[in-house]
Chains A and B, each alone.
Chain A
Amino acid sequence: DAGVIQSPRHEVTEMGQEVTLRCKPISGHNSLFWYRQTMMRGLELLIYFNNNVPIDDSGMPEDRFSAKMPNASFSTLKIQPSEPRDSAVYFCASSFTGGRTEAFFGQGTRLTVV
């Protein structure tokens, strides 16, 4: 398996623009997570999907952030409008919640909002 695949790897955008981050989880995994990493806050969970359904979005910072999982092999995280304080590395991770719940992370998207 190719692992968790994220795109793009890097994104530079201007304040106010819409940003869409994409994730393909590992085939067969039924849980998907979006995390954000910053120097100040470390790695924090934004949203968790199980079987394509959002279970916990309490980590989403505000209404400017939204996430979807239309099917088992694809998820998006959208920021609209983007702000400089959204600059961070965004990770997608997937796991199988049916025993061994080991999570695997994608390579991350480094977002810079100028």
Chain B
Amino acid sequence: GIQVEQSPPDLILQEGANSTLRCNFSDSVNNLQWFHQNPWGQLINLFYIPSGTKQNGRLSATTVATERYSLLYISSSQTTDSGVYFCAVENSGGSNYKLTFGKGTLLTVNP
């Protein structure tokens, strides 16, 4: 099946810093989503971004489908950004309905 690799696995920032999280995937995709799992365990949708660039406030994401990667940018980080960020993809071939998740990036933002 499709492989999803996220980097870095862990990231510690001071409040106000910027960061870039990366997601590499091994095959073509119909769907790519970024989620934030907050300290209470909720999976919050950040972006639905199978290709192109989107921005939402301090967060933006870019997916280059032809090169099989996506980037999530967090600017001016806040303590509330802490949690695990997951990339999940839906393979465009075979079983193309399920999301395959990466292992996530654990982000800690210190005050």
Show the binding face of A for B, using Cβ within 8 Å. Answer: 31, 33, 42-45, 48, 50, 55-56, 89, 91, 93, 97, 100-105, 107-108, 110
Q: Number of contacting residues on B, CB 8 A?
A: 19
Query: Are B41 and A104 in touch, CB under 8 angstroms?
Result: no
A55 to B101, CA, bound (A): 20
Q: Which of A31, A45, A101 contacts B30 (CB 8 A)?
A: A101
Task: State the 6 A-B residue pairs at the shortest beta-carbon distance, nearest first.
Answer: A105-B43, A102-B48, A43-B101, A45-B98, A101-B31, A42-B103
Show the binding face of B for A, using Cβ within 8 Å. Answer: 30-31, 33, 35, 41-43, 45, 48, 86, 88, 90, 95, 97-99, 101, 103-104
Query: Are A102 and B31 in touch, CB under 8 angstroms?
Result: yes
Q: Secondary structure of the A side of the interface?
A: strand
Q: Which of A91, A103, A107 contacts B33 (CB 8 A)?
A: A103
Contacts of B104 in A (CB 8 A): 42
Query: Are A56 and B48 in touch, CB under 8 angstroms?
Result: no
Query: Are B101 and A56 in touch, CB under 8 angstroms?
Result: no
- Given contacts A93-B99, A97-B97, A105-B35, list 13 more A-B pairs with CB under 8 A: A31-B97, A33-B98, A33-B99, A42-B103, A43-B88, A43-B101, A44-B101, A50-B97, A55-B97, A102-B45, A102-B48, A104-B45, A107-B42
Query: Are A45 and B99 in touch, CB under 8 angstroms?
Result: yes
Q: How far is the CB of A41 from chain B (nearest CB, A)?
A: 10
| Interchain residue pairs with CB less than 8 A apart (9) | A33-B98, A43-B86, A43-B88, A93-B99, A101-B30, A101-B90, A102-B31, A103-B33, A110-B41
Contacts of A31 in B (CB 8 A): 97
A5 to B35, CA, bound (A): 18
